[in-house]
Structure 1
Amino acid sequence: MRSLFTSLPLLVVAVAAASPACASDDQQLWVGGTATVKLSDKWRFSQEVISRFSDDRDGLYEVEMNSMIGYKVADKVTVWVGYTHDPNYDAGHFSVMEHRGRQQVTMDNIVKIGPGQLSARLRFEERWREGVDGTAYRLRPYVKYVLPFRPGGKTALVLSHESFIDLNKTNFQRVQGEERMRNLIAITTPLAKNVNLEVGYMHQHGFRPGADDSNDHAASVALGVNF
């Protein structure tokens, strides 16, 4: 098991760099921000907003807004529940509204690998789209490795992987099984007390039965604030 954890950073980079020949490619920009408020020793509230822009879709195609409340059940483990408001756009014009229920367990800094730390998250979502019948269910397992550039330093290399595993099919969720994966390589650094900036490259690979797979190459910029 330890050898698997040790090889994870190299695996993430290798997968992120891979781009199958039989796939469609899109250049994107993802801009996001997250504010996390400590309500008490146990309770947390988090608000996240991510805007996504695409060459193929002629501009803005999604604004994902996640509101979550978390309860710390152990030193490194927090249970979260919340709601995602997710309007979709076509060339910047509103097209369809998606609503999601979201539940997740986060495990922070659970394994030390060399000078870095490994974290993990398991997320479960229920999805509904206005005007479209059906409820879609999916799992999103996620791992992240953070490697400081110097011992005790706050500026670090970030490597992460997330899979989207669809548990059923609906009119808008058409793949049962792994539908996509995201691999990130980024640098995180503090801008001020309790304010962090993360800038990197996100590779999103989509599995599309009966058609060419998709590859989204996204410049990712995210601001994190903790209160």
Structure 2
Amino acid sequence: MKKLYVCLLLLKAQSFAYAEDTIEDGRFWLTLSHDYHINDQWRINLHVQPRWRHEGREFDQIIYRPSIYYKLAPSLSVGGGYGYILTHLTSGGNTHEQRLWQDVIYQTNLTEDIKFLSRSRLEQRHLEGRSDVAHRFRQTVRLAVPTRLISGLSAVFYDEYFINMNDASWGVHRGFDQNRAFVGVNYLFNQHANMDVGYLNQYVNRPNVDVENHVLAITINTQF
């Protein structure tokens, strides 16, 4: 456990070392995620995420992500999916991005109380009007610990680190792309529904001035 925490802190420190100046913004992200279990091994996930910027006053993006997963073992799953991202530019107009991705998900109990999840993702990103493809790697680690204060309430921490694998003509630069760190709680309503609520810090590496977003993040998960 100590080694895990040290690695997370080092990754976080590295992300903040890229820029001397940053632009900050308050944002709101709402995620709706639904799992449909076909059987004990196969499941389909439907994911929708609208995002707002400028303290939540302006619509920023909406993301649609359908995917399918196969359970190789009780703790290990693999899968893949498609993503469509519509972004409203502050300068006017929209961009349309399409992605394919592949996941490896490992989840287990580190102790009787601490739940651990690791997700490793490769993405192939296509921007409308551009011919080149941007490849990106994303690594997420998540910890959840029951609070024992309220039945069904857990403290949650996760960190996601993004690395661009190549350059692309539409503003993608090889190397560190961004980091997302979340601190909040998860409430289990019942076996079919739970919700994350908390603060997410998004630090985005840019060639000139970097971006730091302070995000109120709410995720509602359902499954059947």
> Taking structure 1 as the reference length, what is the TM-score of the superposition?
0.87
How much does 1:10 deviate? 7.2
Identity, % of aligned positions: 23
* Equivalent position of 1:5 in the other structure: 4
Asked if the contact 2:146–2:155 (Cα under 8 Å) also holds between the matched residues in 1, the reply is yes
2: distance between equivalents of 1:179 and 1:16? 9
The number of aligned residues is 223
Partner-residue secondary structure (3-state), 2:131: strand
Contact 1:6–1:113 at 8 Å: present in 2 too?
no
Structure 1 residue 70: Cα displacement:
0.4
The answer to whether the 8 Å contact 1:115/1:151 transfers is no
Distance 2:2 2:105 in 1: 23
User: Matched residues in 2 for 1:23 and 1:106: separation?
Assistant: 33
Equivalent in the alignment of 2:66: 67
TM-score, with structure 2 as normaliser:
0.89
- Matched to 2:210, the amino acid is D
Q: Deviations over 1:152-192 (max 9, x none)?
A: 95310110010110001112242211110000011110234
| 1:50 has 2:49 as partner | yes
Residues of 2 paired with 1:214 and 1:190: CA distance?
33
1: CA distance, partners of 2:170 / 2:55: 20
Q: For residue 38 of structure 1, what is the aligned residue in structure 2?
A: 37
Letter in structure 2 aligned against 1:157: A
The offset of 1:73, in angstroms, is 0.5
Match of 1:219 in 2: 216
Q: Tell me the equivalent position of 1:95.
A: 94
State the SS of the aligned residue for 1:4: helix
Q: How does 1:1-227 map to 2 (within 5 A)?
A: 2-5=1-4, 7=6, 22-55=21-54, 59-90=58-89, 95-109=94-108, 112-113=110-111, 115-150=113-148, 153-209=151-207, 211-227=208-224
> Using the alignment, how far apart are the partners of 1:134 and 1:191 within structure 2?
44
